[in-house]
Amino acid sequence: MLKHSNKLSESQSPYLLQHAHNPVDWMPWGAEALEKATSENKPILVSIGYSACHWCHVMERESFEDEATAEIMNAHFVCIKIDREERPDIDNIYMDAVQAMGLQGGWPLNVFLMPNQKPFYGGTYFPNQQWKGLLSNIATAFENNEDQLAESAEGFGNSLNRKETDKYGISAGNQELDPDELAEIATKITAQFDSEWGGMNRVPKFPMPAIWHFILDYAVLSKNDTMLKKVFFTLKKIGMGGIYDQLRGGFARYSVDGEWFAPHFEKMLYDNGQLLELYAKAYQVSKDEFFKEKVTETVAWLEAEMLNGEGGFHAAQDADSEGVEGKFYVWTYEELQHIIPEELPWLSKLYNLKPGGNWEEGVNILFQTEDEKAIAEEFGMDLSDFKSKLEKVKSQLLEVRNQRIYPGKDDKILSGWNALMSAGLFQSYYATGEKSMLDLAIKNLKFLQEKLLIDGVLHRAYKNGNAYTPGFLEDYAAVIRASMMAFEANGDARWLDFARSLTDFCLAEFYDESDGFFFFNNPKAEKLIANKKELFDNVIPASNSIMARNLHRLSLFTYEEKYSEIASKMLGGMKELILKEPGFLCNWANLFLEKLVPTAEIAIVGSGASDKAREFQQSYSPNMILAYSESLTENAAILADKTPDPQGNALIYVCFDHACRKPVGTYDEAISQLPYLA
């Protein structure tokens, strides 16, 4: 019997390809599907998910693979499947719509539209019986009361078109920045801190890197040890938790409990890039080897399991293998007794392993609650012996685990997520001095430049040798940031030029003069029913906040005031909201910090400049940009007119707002010129 296939079989997306043989006549989003809905006057069902989404797989098994359900869907609807990672713009629009209907958002997201793309009903996961009932009810309503549905869709369509800046009463413009307000923001965020398990006091637990980046920077600049300890405590708990892959490295998206214990096992590139950067900074500030270990293990995972062979990084690893969530990562006690009988007593104590399992179905998640030193003492080992035994056991278990059936892999390349990982790798290189990490990051950016930039347009996705879908603000913003970091890391001015050309493209294509913020989608690239702006920092910071920070930094490298003016106005517009709701505006709060405490511009010119630059890179100073050159150069405004000493040896210029202090010869002299938050 021939296997049914639908229009998704021509897609690149692993998620869409998973649905290519469903009996549902799925179509990808595009002119063909939208025209079909209009010509046949049928409602559109848009179903949005992503390949590592557990409930997406469940709904597929129960409903989309079921012939009877598919029959109803095919008869009454034009069915469109969307990978939200490829089309976050469409996902944003319809997620907003479902929330405007007073319904809970999430994935899979299933939204019903009129043939003109305007939504009238939606929801997330539906069990099969409920789903079939809903499909029948909507089909009947469309047949008998199309006018009423159209009226309701018109209302939702209008609310979708309302500008975010109007909705939240934001108007871009300069505002005074007050250190007391910044202290209030930091205090408000840390008031929600979980003193027992770290992170924010909520369940489930998401790492939320933007929060801890801001608190770390604020704590360092204000010399606030209490806040610094909260960051380190959180990162310790996450790194000891089941959310961290104790054998291979890498972080899962979140834990379903409040203790970082049982993760939703998928590993996403965007989380890992940001956490890599955060752990690297924590190591630079604390010199605690625990943080360095998480960095080196996570980079090892990235190299072993996430590279595409051309310099790109895959998007995600699924939670499920063999249809069971977490099966790849967990252990029965019997298995462990068989593999490492001698070591099991102390390993059980270290990772809370139980004969009957410490999680459901009698299996164990590796979950550390006590530090290694305490366990080593309890078992009469000195710490270095304990560590080398642990390394050996980990590699034994990893060898066994690697024989198992791997979780599914989403092997498309997303430019924005790749750039988040590049940024993490640059910071990891600074922290560890491992040149291979720098090489990985540079190779990744070269890959993005060569394969995903076509005729000056950055593309969102790449697979099988093809770049597709023009990029969104998230992609541009992340790549611009990583490119500026590349310039700081290796002094190659091409990266600064690249950052600048992408920024100018964004200003030309995405910037909305009427309110001073950037659209998420390029309104000139494709006509959608709404053009959205992303303002709130979530697990990935808002593309507008990344862009505003980019503009601030770019103006300091290039001496182009226009960039700084736009950033200041964006921050001014957001300021009241940051004060009210700082938990979801932490990347904006970081810009507040950078604008309030003058950002140090460090320029090093002359023989030995790269060695001096490494001294700055090894330790972590927030709120600083760095440019260096072994010889006189005009390749960046920040380096122009800077000269070495009379012998040609490197001098360090510490400047603020383009005005420089007296040049000095050593790192210590330069660091003493950097400001702190009083």
146-165 average pLDDT score: 90
- Convert the pLDDT of each residue in 477-506 to its tens digit: 999 999 999 999 999 999 999 999 999 999
pLDDT band at 2 (very low <50, low <70, confident <90, very high): low
Scored b (16 or more CB within 10 A) or e, 593-628 reads: bbbbbebbbbbbbbebbeebbeebbeebbbbbbbbb
The pLDDT, as a whole number, for residue 327 is 96
Read off the tokens for 64: 């989309």
Residue 465 has pLDDT above 70, yes or no: yes
197-202 average pLDDT score: 97
**CA atoms of 44 and 529, how far apart (whole Å):** 14
Residue 596 has pLDDT above 50, yes or no: yes
For the entire predicted model, the pTM comes to 0.96
Phi, psi of 287 (to 5 degrees): 60, 25
439-465 average pLDDT score: 97
pLDDT band at 171 (very low <50, low <70, confident <90, very high): confident
- Convert the pLDDT of each residue in 212-253 to its tens digit: 999 999 999 999 999 999 999 999 999 999 999 999 999 999
E strands, 298-452, in order: 316-317, 320-321, 324-325, 409-410, 413-414
Determine how many CB atoms are found less than 10 A away from the CB of residue 542.
Answer: 26
Using H for helix, E for strand and C for coil, what is the string for 621-658? Answer: CCCEEEEEECCCCCCCCCCCCCCCCCCCECEEEEEECC
Average pLDDT value for the chain? 96
The pLDDT, as a whole number, for residue 429 is 98
The pLDDT, as a whole number, for residue 493 is 97
Read off the tokens for 162: 């309302």
Domains of the chain: residue spans and CATH: 7-161 (3.40.30.10), 194-318+408-430 (1.50.10.10), 333-403 (no CATH), 600-671 (no CATH)
Residue 460 has pLDDT above 90, yes or no: yes
pLDDT band at 158 (very low <50, low <70, confident <90, very high): confident
537-558 average pLDDT score: 98
92-98 average pLDDT score: 94
637-649 average pLDDT score: 96
340-348 average pLDDT score: 97
541-547 average pLDDT score: 98
The pLDDT, as a whole number, for residue 157 is 83
**CA atoms of 665 and 219, how far apart (whole Å):** 28
559-574 average pLDDT score: 97
**CA atoms of 673 and 663, how far apart (whole Å):** 10
The pLDDT, as a whole number, for residue 1 is 45
Let me know the angle formed at the C-alpha of 426 by 423 and 432, rounded to the nearest 5 degrees.
135
142-161 average pLDDT score: 91
CB 115 within 8 A of CB 41: yes
The pLDDT, as a whole number, for residue 4 is 82
